[in-house]
Amino acid sequence: MKDKRGFTMVELIAVVIILGALMIIVYPSVNRILTGGRKTVDDLTKKNLEDASTIFAQDIYICEDSTIINILKNDVHLNVTNCNDAKEALQSGITFSMDILKQYEYIAKADKCSGNIIIRMNGTKMTNISADVSNVTCN
């Protein structure tokens, strides 16, 4: 009798077909999980940008030193010379690039995001500060 070793071609094809069928069944679920995870990370990044923008706006409102005036003048390109000008600009609304938040360490990481953020203070109270990150996209 002949000593049989290995697999027949039919057995190999059957294994490939079974693995293919499993991939067809499993792939959509795995892809949905990965896509959902990316969306969650993007949403959290946008929320972090919103929080960082609010802190930046509060620093503008408090205006403790000339650093904030220099940021608004040199990086945001606003015509401000003192803290009152900065508060007036905040009430009108300030649009700035999210790179400013990274540059001045309000946020550490948002590398996959781009766009502009708008901060605004409604009224004269610091508690009425809002940040609009709807123009920011994360990929």
**Strand, coil or helix: 120:** strand
Please state, as a whole number, how many other Cβ atoms lie within 10 Å of the Cβ of residue 52. 23
> 19-77 pLDDT, tens per residue?
999 999 999 988 888 888 888 888 898 999 999 999 999 999 999 888 999 999 999 99
Average pLDDT, the chain: 89
Higher pLDDT, 127 or 119: 119
Residues 6+ apart with CB under 8 A from 138: 41, 42, 45, 46, 110, 112, 113
Q: In the structure encoding, which two tokens stand for residue 133, read together?
A: 């990150």
- What mean pLDDT is predicted for residues 92-107? 90
What is residue 139's predicted lDDT score, i.e. its pLDDT? 77
- Burial zone of 57 (CB within 10 Å; 0-12 exposed, 13-18 middle, 19+ buried): buried
What is residue 38's predicted lDDT score, i.e. its pLDDT? 84
What is residue 110's predicted lDDT score, i.e. its pLDDT? 78
Closest to 121 measured CA to CA, from 68, 73, 53, 64: 53
Per-residue pLDDT band for 1 (boundaries 50, 70, 90) equals low
Residues 6+ apart with CB under 8 A from 112: 42, 45, 138, 139
